[in-house]
Amino acid sequence: MKKKKKETKKEIAARLGISRQALHARLKRGMDPKKATSLGPLATNPNPVRTLIARGEGRETITQMCIEAGVPESTYYARRARGLPHEECLKVTEA
């Protein structure tokens, strides 16, 4: 019989679509190892009520628009705070 190869944290994180640091933080904060290695990225939603209202009205949420555009929400809100229009906030800048 062959021994089952044990996955490293890096491999588990890649499979889940999260960073190795995020996986490490979950385990360090006491999350059950089985749960920590089975959950994908956890979405952050500062206002779930607004999200539910927007979905009920058939509108797209800022979170959804940011994911589709490939722009982090924090970047979107920082750009809005600087006074940029909505379309400019969703543009991906080339480094």
Q: Is 50 a residue whose pLDDT tops 80?
A: no
pLDDT at residue 56, rounded to an integer: 76
Domain boundaries, the chain: 7-42, 48-89
> Rounded to two decimals, what is the model's pTM?
0.44
SS3 of 33, please? helix
Q: Are 66 and 72 in contact (CB under 8 A)?
A: yes
Model confidence at 45, pLDDT cuts 50, 70, 90, reads: low
The closest alpha carbon to 62, from 10, 48, 15, 17, belongs to 48
